Structure 1
């Protein structure tokens, strides 16, 4: 089975989804053309090829086709999944709802989808996949507060659901509730301590909260943000977003440290376990490392070198603009 089918189209870049969706008709035709496909159930279970990879491929192609607007092929994939796992399967219920959301033509049809979710949850409140879809739909129609309430119920019942905590953090952030967003991201990292993207995301939110602080509290928040970005690039040494955040955070922290008056007491508290603020020399070194790595990523990523082609054009442009902006500031 072709390897691309086994990778879900989760990237913000639409090209992988377009490429995957283009292969969907060939895949579905090859599966349907098998002579045993016309046999009645349960004979198909004995003769049909059965593997996790096959059904993962169907689901990934279904998602890619939904994203690219190829609804007929998406429905073909969905029918195959329903035939295999049944209409009442928790995951299949969520996929059916996702298809109905994508093909809805107006607000009224979206409300019908919401009613269907409510009916499913009324019968069984523990179907978390449907509750997640309901929260996503609430958010898409501008009902963020209700979506937060839904996800709060979910994480109370399943506190190790990292996906739900991450979505809840994003919702709180969209409402300007930075403290709650930080708490949710910390919960994600309790479940997935090596998720470098979540360390970087937490660094971003802490950096945003630091902009609303002053004095020692601001310095402490900036130092914490810097440490989060350091951890993200420690876990993934080619993570552009981590190096970008480290470059921005260290730049701001340098200005804060250099602007502090001599003899000003540190913000560390040995009894509370707070770390002392980093030294200016340390922050300068990290700033230089981040700048050098960003420059390398931009140079080699723009050239399309092998192993450096996974960055989007928008990411490379943002990194280049950051480096150019700082260079112009130094020349002035």
Structure 2
């Protein structure tokens, strides 16, 4: 486990193992800067990797409840960068949130401290994001949306903010708004295959939950979902979620195509994506089935370079394929 890897990618077991090593890791990391400018420049503590290690260790410790080690990490970060640094202020807030646990009064005090900071400097993006996360975690969804809108108003190129806004809208079943927000993410990161797949998932949910499943809006969402999943696997040939989504989307289209009105390419908007013909959709479904089967088989066989998939996603793919096999047998 490398301290340079983002802690969000660590499993709970890996985060626990890392936090258990925290005292030894803290002893091994440099903890003070040089007394002179020359010493500081030559010191290993000025390496970006050192401070990234501190931040990642802090977050892993918070995940596992090791507040003592987390406090030591933040103390060293404050000692180096000062307590007015935007990122350090957000990390301090994160520690205070963890210390508050479920104490409503303490969480309200943390929220007020964020408001006070933003009253002085409304462009402090890390504090904006901590405030929004705290609002969401305490069930204040409307205020979280307002906070995200305010953040994106002065920082419209914040892809993370747009993705967070999409997630909030999705939680409320506002599919059109979630799609719009994810499209903004793709404007900023056009080659992000995971975002293409996520947009495909949201559009698939919108299509599959529409009343009746026979109107033009459902057809449009289904077509867009199919396009997004295809783009996702075009950008990443072995992306499991892309193939999983493509399998679901093609099955949905083949099942419902007969209910939908025939598309007239002459009258369609240039921005609309028309569904491919049935033969093409069938080939795409077959491709998705074959690729999912290959991924599951090679992961299960523990072949080299095929072990990086999430176990739960592999199991979901296996169940999806099992359903296909059962349908064929019947």
Relative to the length of structure 1, the TM-score reads 0.91
**Range moving further from structure 2, 99-108 or 121-130:** 99-108
Q: Does residue 1:227 correspond to 2:223, yes or no?
A: no
TM superposition shift of 1:214: 2.4
Partner of 1:61: 57
Of the three residues 155, 158, 181, the one matched with 2:155 is: 158
TM superposition shift of 1:12: 6.8
Q: Does residue 1:94 correspond to 2:99, yes or no?
A: no
| Structure 1, gaps ≥5 residues long | none
Q: Does residue 1:254 correspond to 2:250, yes or no?
A: no
**Range moving further from structure 2, 284-293 or 265-274:** 265-274
Counterparts in 2 of 1:116 and 1:280: CA distance versus 1, 3 Å = same
Separation of aligned partners in 2, 1:243 and 1:250:
10
Counterparts in 2 of 1:230 and 1:320: CA distance versus 1, 3 Å = same
Partner of 2:43: 48
TM superposition shift of 1:47: 5.8
The 5 A counterparts of 1:164-183 are 164-183=161-180
SS class of match (2:205): helix
Separation of aligned partners in 2, 1:266 and 1:81:
60
Separation of aligned partners in 2, 1:141 and 1:103:
15
**Range moving further from structure 2, 59-68 or 14-23:** 14-23
When the two chains are superposed, the root-mean-square deviation of aligned CA atoms in Å is 2.1
TM superposition shift of 1:46: 5.2
Separation of aligned partners in 2, 1:41 and 1:81:
18
The 5 A counterparts of 1:67-78 are 67-78=63-74
TM superposition shift of 1:42: 6.8
TM superposition shift of 1:185: 0.2
Partner of 1:199: 196
**Range moving further from structure 2, 298-307 or 232-241:** 298-307
TM superposition shift of 1:311: 1.6
SS class of match (2:132): helix
Separation of aligned partners in 1, 2:52 and 2:97:
21
Size of the alignment, in residue pairs? 324
SS class of match (1:6): coil
Could you give the per-residue CA deviations for residues 44-84 of structure 1, whole angstroms, max 9, x where no partner exists?
63563211111111111111111122221111111111111
Separation of aligned partners in 2, 1:216 and 1:29:
63
TM superposition shift of 1:131: 0.7
Counterparts in 2 of 1:103 and 1:306: CA distance versus 1, 3 Å = farther
Separation of aligned partners in 2, 1:116 and 1:9:
26
Q: Say if 1:268 and 1:275, in contact at 8 Å, map to a contact too.
A: no
Q: Say if 1:267 and 1:277, in contact at 8 Å, map to a contact too.
A: no
TM superposition shift of 1:109: 1.0
TM superposition shift of 1:315: 0.9
**Range moving further from structure 2, 231-240 or 46-55:** 46-55
Q: Say if 1:117 and 1:134, in contact at 8 Å, map to a contact too.
A: yes
Could you give the per-residue CA deviations for residues 79-125 of structure 1, whole angstroms, max 9, x where no partner exists?
11111111010111111111111121311111111011011011111
Q: Say if 2:34 and 2:43, in contact at 8 Å, map to a contact too.
A: no
Partner of 1:287: 285
Partner of 2:303: 305
**Range moving further from structure 2, 273-282 or 11-20:** 11-20
Separation of aligned partners in 1, 2:204 and 2:10:
23
SS class of match (1:76): helix
Separation of aligned partners in 1, 2:304 and 2:262:
50
SS class of match (2:289): helix
Separation of aligned partners in 2, 1:74 and 1:13:
19
TM superposition shift of 1:24: 3.0
Q: Say if 2:166 and 2:179, in contact at 8 Å, map to a contact too.
A: yes
Q: Say if 1:295 and 1:323, in contact at 8 Å, map to a contact too.
A: yes
**Range moving further from structure 2, 133-142 or 41-50:** 41-50
Separation of aligned partners in 2, 1:109 and 1:265:
59
Q: Does residue 1:325 correspond to 2:313, yes or no?
A: no
Q: Say if 1:8 and 1:63, in contact at 8 Å, map to a contact too.
A: no
Q: Does residue 1:137 correspond to 2:134, yes or no?
A: yes
